[in-house]
Amino acid sequence: MRIKLLAAKTAMYLLLAGYLIFLAFPLFWMLSTSLKPTPEIAARVPTLLPQHPTLVHYIDAFTEQQIVRSVINSLKVASISAVITVLVALPASYALARYQSRVNKAVQGWVLLSQVFPFILIIIPLFLILRSLALTNKHTGLMIVYLVWGLPFALWMLQGYVRSIPRELEEAAAVDGANRWQTLVRIVAPLMRPGVIATGMFTFISAWNEFFFALVLLKSPALATLPISLAKFTGVDGTARWGPLAAASLVATVPSLILFSIFQRGLTTGLMSGAVKQ
């Protein structure tokens, strides 16, 4: 029995190690490519590790396309968009989950339906509307687009967390004299912390990686987000400069990795924080 248990644990750890290698290998290969000189990258039989490491691709990435400026632009747009989306979605999801009416059902149906439309169908009227409001070629206009586009997903995701909270907690708060807003802020919101963090992270990553809207709405190079700058390492003929592209792409993954490492504990802890009356 102990031998079978040991074998099962060994197999589980081997599978976990293989999965981690599968996830980490693209990052490792990107790092290796960014450190290889161009002849090694173009070699018919690529090597796993760079034979003559160089930082020239990082220099090219930071000097030619102003990667630092693009990272700052993307951080600004993605962070503000994620925060505003969560702040709007939290009370809205609470209302949709707790109040049953025909209007709420229609809103929920529209939330699902809105996810079906491809970007290309709305980009022309969206551009015309933003141009009439003088919001093209501005980060404000792009953040409004990300807010509207990310809100249905945030609403749908947070509704599940609201429904998982026992109504008895809200009833107890009402008995203590709390109104709906106080119940949302003091009872529901702390219990939804894992859901709020997860929704904020997904919204941030979606805005961080978004390319199409940013390409259409932003014309000034000084306002370019990171995906636009990364695309400039590929020529009009489709030929990519793999060295600078790998270096810039590696830089682009760092903020996301830092974000996940900071907030990963919030996804598993504090699930019932705030349930005990202070």
Best CA proximity match to 206, nearest among 248, 249, 147, 159? 147
Residues 58-267, CATH architecture: Orthogonal Bundle (1.10)
* pLDDT tens-place string over residues 24-76: 888 888 888 888 888 888 887 878 888 888 888 888 888 877 788 888 999 99
**More confident: 160 or 143:** 143
DSSP code per residue over 176-213: TT--HHHHIIIIIHHHTHHHHHHHHHHHHHHHHH--HH
Spans of all domains in the chain: 1-54, 58-267
Query: pLDDT by residue (tens digit) across 96-116?
Result: 877 777 777 777 777 777 667
What residue type is 132 in one-letter code?
S
Tell me the pLDDT band of 274, cut-offs 50, 70 and 90.
Answer: very low
For 107, what's the count of Cα atoms within 13 Å in the CB-facing half-sphere? 18
State the residue for tokens 């019932």.
272
